Amino acid sequence: MSGVVASPELLAIARRWIDAIPNRRPNDLRNLLTEHEYLRFVGTGENENWAGPSVREGIGDFFGDIPDLIRHDETFAEAYEHNGTGWACMCHELVFAPQPDRVFQIRSTLIFTLEDGAWKIVHRHGSVPIPNMDFTGAAQTAIADLVAAAKQGFSLDQREGFASVMFTDIVNSSRLASAMGDRLWSSEVARHFKTLREIIEARGGQFVKSLGDGTMSSFPSPEQGLRAAQAILRATEASDGPAIALRIGIHTGEVIQTREDFFGTVVNKAARIAAAAGPGEIVISGDTRDLTGAVEGVVIHPPTDIPLKGFDGLHRVHRLEWRT
């Protein structure tokens, strides 16, 4: 097919997905999956063919049934992309702690699509040559249970609340990944996320999820979000790693929270505001500014009206001067 190219970026994301399974990072697994109804998850078992957002909610419990590993070796990996669609194929050899003398061959295929600038998994197919009960010692019913619940119209711990939502994004991440190589870039992104999580949580925020090479977090108050954004850019500027430039956007309002994720117009607008920021910039919405008092060490510039993709009209935003 004309235009199909090898994708180091998707290969790095696929490896982060695989790495999150034995290292028990359910949020990373959830955040790499699309939130849409067209999500598909196919496994080895006879009835392991699930669809929709319930897959995201059950993914941590599904993989949580897998025993601890004492060996995890990648034997094959490739990824390609074309016009906003991508795919990766990977093979691994695993040795589990309960069966140290047995090697299992695992095959995984991931299909991706670009959603608002971030790669999301829309289809996963994993297979092993034996049933899950023999493979893991468990039937792994977490996703099946959640799909059944969703079909009956059950709510998954949904609630509403007031929050300041912050998005961060690494500028030119594809270029950096290509220059550094997949493994080194993947390690650097993991270190970057760890630093951001520590800064966000130290200022009373919640690290909600990673989105490709960006993050989403929430704060009880705008001031906490501004403080975290300022600290993040300072830490990034002072880092001894590769020169990473971030853009940050913050918007405040009523959000809907389901388990550990957030939804609603506030979330979408915060993402658009972040996309409108330049490298090394913090941009906040007019609503966030109106609810923010004086913050020592932060200068809030006069307003600017800008268009935001997916929203009608112009929207008031303010740029923050944080190097004070």
Note the pLDDT of residue 324. Answer: 64
- Token pair, residue 321, equals 């001067």
Terminal Cα distance for the chain, rounded: 52
Contact 248, 166 (CB under 8 A): yes
Contact 42, 143 (CB under 8 A): no
pTM: 0.53
- Percent of the chain having pLDDT more than 70? 87
Reported confidence tier of residue 156, pLDDT bands at 50, 70, 90: very low
Reported confidence tier of residue 151, pLDDT bands at 50, 70, 90: very low
CA distances from 228 to 47, 204, 232, 297 (A): 45, 9, 6, 12
73-94: average pLDDT? 91
Q: What's the sign of the alpha-carbon dihedral 2, 8, 13, 18?
A: positive
Note the pLDDT of residue 309. Answer: 86
In b/e form, how buried is each residue of 103-114, taking b as 16+ CB within 10 angstroms? ebebbbebebbe
Note the pLDDT of residue 319. Answer: 94
The answer to which of 148-157, 176-185, 245-254 has the lowest mean pLDDT is 148-157
For 1-30, write each residue's pLDDT tens digit. 467 888 888 999 999 999 999 888 999 999
Rounded CA-CA distance 171/225 in Å is: 20
Residue 256 exposed, middle or buried by CB count within 10 Å (0-12, 13-18, 19+):
middle
Please determine, for residue 316, whether its predicted confidence score (pLDDT) is greater than 60: yes
Note the pLDDT of residue 104. Answer: 83
Note the pLDDT of residue 150. Answer: 46
Alpha helices in the chain (DSSP H): 8-20, 26-31, 54-64, 132-136, 142-151, 173-180, 182-202, 222-238, 265-276, 286-290
CA-based nearest residue to 273, from 236, 314, 321, 245: 314
Note the pLDDT of residue 232. Answer: 94
Rounded CA-CA distance 267/214 in Å is: 14
The answer to which of 73-82, 91-100, 135-144, 301-310 has the lowest mean pLDDT is 135-144
160-172: average pLDDT? 87
Please determine, for residue 148, whether its predicted confidence score (pLDDT) is greater than 80: no
Region of 262 please: left (phi>0), alpha (psi -120 to 50) or beta. Answer: beta
Contact 300, 289 (CB under 8 A): yes
The DSSP bridge partners found for residue 92 are: 74, 106
Write phi, then psi, for 123 (nearest 5 degrees). Answer: -150, 130
Note the pLDDT of residue 17. Answer: 92
Contact 57, 259 (CB under 8 A): yes
- Containing 195, the helix (H) or strand (E) segment is helix 182-202
Rounded CA-CA distance 103/190 in Å is: 28
Note the pLDDT of residue 273. Answer: 94
For 87-141, write each residue's pLDDT tens digit. 999 999 888 888 888 888 889 999 999 998 899 999 999 887 665 555 555 555 5
SS (H, E, C) 199-232: HHHHCCCEEEEEECCEEEEEECCHHHHHHHHHHH
By three-state DSSP, how is residue 289 classified? helix
Note the pLDDT of residue 229. Answer: 95
Rounded CA-CA distance 176/179 in Å is: 5
145 vs 121, more confident: 121
Note the pLDDT of residue 32. Answer: 94
Reported confidence tier of residue 318, pLDDT bands at 50, 70, 90: very high
Note the pLDDT of residue 155. Answer: 38
For 53-62, write each residue's pLDDT tens digit. 888 888 888 8
Please determine, for residue 256, whether its predicted confidence score (pLDDT) is greater than 60: yes
Note the pLDDT of residue 131. Answer: 54
Note the pLDDT of residue 65. Answer: 81
Reported confidence tier of residue 143, pLDDT bands at 50, 70, 90: low
